[in-house]
Protein backbone atom coordinates (compact mmCIF):
# COMPACT_ATOMS: atom_id res chain seq x y z
CA UNK A 1 0.00 0.00 0.00
CA UNK A 2 1.45 3.35 -1.06
CA UNK A 3 1.54 6.40 1.17
CA UNK A 4 0.99 10.04 0.26
CA UNK A 5 1.81 12.86 2.64
CA UNK A 6 -0.19 16.07 2.25
CA UNK A 7 1.95 18.76 3.84
CA UNK A 8 0.09 20.70 6.52
CA UNK A 9 1.61 24.10 7.19
CA UNK A 10 -1.70 25.73 8.03
CA UNK A 11 -2.61 26.83 4.50
CA UNK A 12 -4.57 25.07 1.80
CA UNK A 13 -7.67 23.02 1.18
CA UNK A 14 -6.13 20.00 2.87
CA UNK A 15 -9.18 17.82 3.49
CA UNK A 16 -10.46 18.27 -0.05
CA UNK A 17 -7.08 17.30 -1.48
CA UNK A 18 -6.82 14.24 0.77
CA UNK A 19 -10.40 13.13 0.03
CA UNK A 20 -9.82 13.47 -3.72
CA UNK A 21 -6.68 11.34 -3.51
CA UNK A 22 -8.49 8.69 -1.47
CA UNK A 23 -11.31 8.72 -4.02
CA UNK A 24 -9.05 7.94 -6.97
CA UNK A 25 -7.33 5.04 -5.17
CA UNK A 26 -8.81 3.63 -1.97
CA UNK A 27 -5.72 1.46 -1.47
CA UNK A 28 -3.65 4.53 -0.67
CA UNK A 29 -2.85 5.73 2.81
CA UNK A 30 -3.20 9.51 2.63
CA UNK A 31 -1.96 11.46 5.64
CA UNK A 32 -2.25 15.18 6.32
CA UNK A 33 0.80 15.98 8.41
CA UNK A 34 3.37 18.55 9.46
CA UNK A 35 5.67 15.95 11.02
CA UNK A 36 8.99 15.84 9.13
CA UNK A 37 9.56 12.12 9.61
CA UNK A 38 6.17 11.24 8.16
CA UNK A 39 6.66 13.51 5.16
CA UNK A 40 10.14 12.13 4.55
CA UNK A 41 8.86 8.56 4.90
CA UNK A 42 5.98 8.88 2.42
CA UNK A 43 6.14 7.44 -1.10
CA UNK A 44 4.70 10.61 -2.63
CA UNK A 45 4.20 14.14 -1.38
CA UNK A 46 1.58 16.80 -2.11
CA UNK A 47 2.34 20.44 -1.32
CA UNK A 48 -0.97 22.35 -1.43
CA UNK A 49 -1.59 25.95 -0.54
CA UNK A 50 -3.75 29.01 -0.81
CA UNK A 51 -3.24 32.47 0.61
CA UNK A 52 -0.22 34.75 0.77
CA UNK A 53 3.32 33.66 -0.09
CA UNK A 54 4.84 35.60 2.81
CA UNK A 55 2.82 33.64 5.36
CA UNK A 56 3.58 30.41 3.52
CA UNK A 57 7.33 30.86 3.70
CA UNK A 58 7.17 32.02 7.33
CA UNK A 59 5.11 29.00 8.36
CA UNK A 60 7.43 26.58 6.58
CA UNK A 61 10.31 28.11 8.52
CA UNK A 62 8.46 28.14 11.86
CA UNK A 63 7.44 24.49 11.53
CA UNK A 64 10.95 23.53 10.40
CA UNK A 65 9.55 22.25 7.12
CA UNK A 66 11.52 24.32 4.63
CA UNK A 67 14.40 21.86 4.35
CA UNK A 68 11.96 18.94 4.43
CA UNK A 69 10.09 20.31 1.42
CA UNK A 70 13.38 20.89 -0.40
CA UNK A 71 14.48 17.32 0.27
CA UNK A 72 11.29 15.55 -0.80
CA UNK A 73 10.92 17.81 -3.84
CA UNK A 74 14.30 16.54 -4.99
CA UNK A 75 13.74 12.87 -4.24
CA UNK A 76 10.06 11.78 -4.49
CA UNK A 77 7.11 12.19 -6.84
CA UNK A 78 6.01 15.66 -5.77
CA UNK A 79 2.83 17.55 -6.60
CA UNK A 80 2.46 21.27 -5.88
CA UNK A 81 -0.99 22.88 -5.98
CA UNK A 82 -1.74 26.61 -6.41
CA UNK A 83 0.46 28.39 -3.85
CA UNK A 84 2.36 25.10 -3.78
CA UNK A 85 3.50 25.96 -7.32
CA UNK A 86 4.33 29.60 -6.64
CA UNK A 87 6.42 28.78 -3.56
CA UNK A 88 8.69 26.57 -5.67
CA UNK A 89 9.90 29.53 -7.72
CA UNK A 90 12.80 31.86 -7.03
CA UNK A 91 10.83 35.01 -6.25
CA UNK A 92 7.32 36.38 -5.84
CA UNK A 93 6.27 40.02 -6.06
CA UNK A 94 3.59 39.39 -3.44
CA UNK A 95 3.98 40.92 0.05
CA UNK A 96 6.48 43.50 -1.27
CA UNK A 97 8.71 40.73 -2.58
CA UNK A 98 9.39 37.30 -1.09
CA UNK A 99 12.09 34.76 -1.96
CA UNK A 100 10.70 31.33 -2.75
CA UNK A 101 12.28 27.90 -2.47
CA UNK A 102 14.18 28.28 -5.74
CA UNK A 103 13.43 24.77 -7.01
CA UNK A 104 12.07 26.19 -10.27
CA UNK A 105 13.42 29.24 -12.09
CA UNK A 106 11.28 32.29 -12.56
CA UNK A 107 9.06 34.86 -10.93
CA UNK A 108 5.49 35.28 -9.70
CA UNK A 109 3.74 38.52 -10.66
CA UNK A 110 0.37 40.15 -9.98
CA UNK A 111 -2.09 40.03 -12.85
CA UNK A 112 -2.63 43.81 -12.84
CA UNK A 113 1.11 44.39 -13.21
CA UNK A 114 1.24 41.85 -16.01
CA UNK A 115 -1.67 43.47 -17.84
CA UNK A 116 0.08 46.87 -17.68
CA UNK A 117 3.40 45.44 -18.86
CA UNK A 118 1.73 43.63 -21.75
CA UNK A 119 -0.41 46.62 -22.66
CA UNK A 120 -3.65 44.64 -22.46
CA UNK A 121 -6.96 45.54 -20.88
CA UNK A 122 -7.98 43.42 -17.88
CA UNK A 123 -10.34 40.71 -19.16
CA UNK A 124 -12.23 40.64 -15.88
CA UNK A 125 -11.84 40.87 -12.16
CA UNK A 126 -8.76 39.92 -10.17
CA UNK A 127 -8.50 37.43 -8.60
CA UNK A 128 -9.15 35.09 -11.49
CA UNK A 129 -11.77 32.76 -10.07
CA UNK A 130 -13.34 30.12 -12.22
CA UNK A 131 -12.89 27.61 -15.03
CA UNK A 132 -10.20 28.18 -17.66
CA UNK A 133 -8.92 25.82 -20.38
CA UNK A 134 -5.37 24.49 -20.11
CA UNK A 135 -3.24 23.99 -23.19
CA UNK A 136 -0.75 21.15 -22.84
CA UNK A 137 2.50 22.51 -24.30
CA UNK A 138 4.65 19.51 -23.38
CA UNK A 139 3.98 15.83 -22.84
CA UNK A 140 3.94 14.52 -19.29
CA UNK A 141 2.65 11.34 -17.60
CA UNK A 142 0.22 13.39 -15.51
CA UNK A 143 -1.58 14.52 -18.68
CA UNK A 144 -2.42 10.90 -19.56
CA UNK A 145 -6.09 10.51 -20.46
CA UNK A 146 -6.77 14.27 -20.19
CA UNK A 147 -7.69 15.99 -23.49
CA UNK A 148 -5.71 19.05 -24.49
CA UNK A 149 -7.72 22.19 -23.80
CA UNK A 150 -9.53 20.67 -20.83
CA UNK A 151 -10.99 23.17 -18.36
CA UNK A 152 -9.68 23.36 -14.80
CA UNK A 153 -10.63 25.49 -11.79
CA UNK A 154 -8.42 28.45 -10.82
CA UNK A 155 -8.41 30.93 -7.91
CA UNK A 156 -5.46 33.35 -7.88
CA UNK A 157 -4.36 36.97 -8.15
CA UNK A 158 -0.69 36.24 -8.82
CA UNK A 159 0.56 34.19 -11.74
CA UNK A 160 3.71 32.33 -12.75
CA UNK A 161 5.40 33.65 -15.88
CA UNK A 162 6.10 31.28 -18.75
CA UNK A 163 9.16 29.18 -17.92
CA UNK A 164 11.25 27.88 -20.79
CA UNK A 165 11.69 24.12 -20.57
CA UNK A 166 9.60 23.96 -17.38
CA UNK A 167 6.09 25.09 -18.32
CA UNK A 168 4.06 22.08 -19.47
CA UNK A 169 0.62 23.71 -19.45
CA UNK A 170 -0.55 27.25 -20.14
CA UNK A 171 -3.75 29.22 -19.71
CA UNK A 172 -4.81 32.70 -20.74
CA UNK A 173 -6.41 35.49 -18.74
CA UNK A 174 -5.56 38.60 -20.70
CA UNK A 175 -2.05 37.18 -20.96
CA UNK A 176 -0.62 33.70 -21.17
CA UNK A 177 0.67 32.22 -17.90
CA UNK A 178 1.96 28.94 -16.52
CA UNK A 179 -0.90 26.66 -15.54
CA UNK A 180 1.38 23.66 -14.90
CA UNK A 181 5.13 23.27 -14.53
CA UNK A 182 7.31 20.19 -14.36
CA UNK A 183 10.93 19.34 -13.78
CA UNK A 184 12.23 15.84 -13.08
CA UNK A 185 10.11 14.46 -10.19
CA UNK A 186 8.17 17.71 -9.65
CA UNK A 187 4.79 18.51 -11.17
CA UNK A 188 2.94 21.60 -9.99
CA UNK A 189 -0.29 23.28 -11.02
CA UNK A 190 -1.75 26.75 -10.60
CA UNK A 191 -5.22 25.25 -10.84
CA UNK A 192 -6.89 23.13 -8.18
CA UNK A 193 -7.22 19.53 -9.40
CA UNK A 194 -9.25 18.63 -6.31
CA UNK A 195 -11.89 21.18 -7.44
CA UNK A 196 -11.70 20.36 -11.15
CA UNK A 197 -14.12 17.45 -11.31
CA UNK A 198 -13.32 14.57 -13.67
CA UNK A 199 -10.18 16.07 -15.26
CA UNK A 200 -8.74 16.97 -11.88
CA UNK A 201 -9.40 13.50 -10.50
CA UNK A 202 -7.73 11.99 -13.58
CA UNK A 203 -4.63 14.09 -12.95
CA UNK A 204 -4.56 13.04 -9.28
CA UNK A 205 -4.99 9.40 -10.29
CA UNK A 206 -2.05 9.76 -12.67
CA UNK A 207 -0.01 11.21 -9.81
CA UNK A 208 -0.73 8.19 -7.60
CA UNK A 209 0.76 5.96 -10.31
CA UNK A 210 3.65 8.21 -11.34
CA UNK A 211 7.19 7.09 -10.52
CA UNK A 212 8.63 10.61 -10.80
CA UNK A 213 10.21 10.23 -14.23
CA UNK A 214 9.33 11.75 -17.62
> Which residues are identified as catalytic?
82, 192, 194
For 129-159, the DSSP string reads EEEEE-EE-S--GGGTT--TT-EEEEEESEE
Q: Is the peptide bond before 127 cis (omega within 30 degrees of 0)?
A: yes
Q: Are strands 135-136 and 151-156 parallel, antiparallel or unpaired?
A: unpaired
User: What is d(CA 143, CA 153) in angstroms, rounded to the nearest whole number?
Assistant: 16
Sheet holding 167-172, edge to edge: 29-33, 3-7, 44-47, 78-81, 186-189, 176-183, 167-172, 135-136
Q: Are strands 135-136 and 167-172 parallel, antiparallel or unpaired?
A: antiparallel
User: What is d(CA 48, CA 152) in angstroms, rounded to the nearest whole number?
Assistant: 16
Amino acid sequence: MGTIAVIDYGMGNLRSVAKALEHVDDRLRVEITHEPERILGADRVVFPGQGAIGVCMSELQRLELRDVVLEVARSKPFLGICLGLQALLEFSDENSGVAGLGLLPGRVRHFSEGFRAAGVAPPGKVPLMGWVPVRQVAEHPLWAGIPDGQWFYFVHSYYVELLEGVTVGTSRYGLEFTAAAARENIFATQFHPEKSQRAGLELLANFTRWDGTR
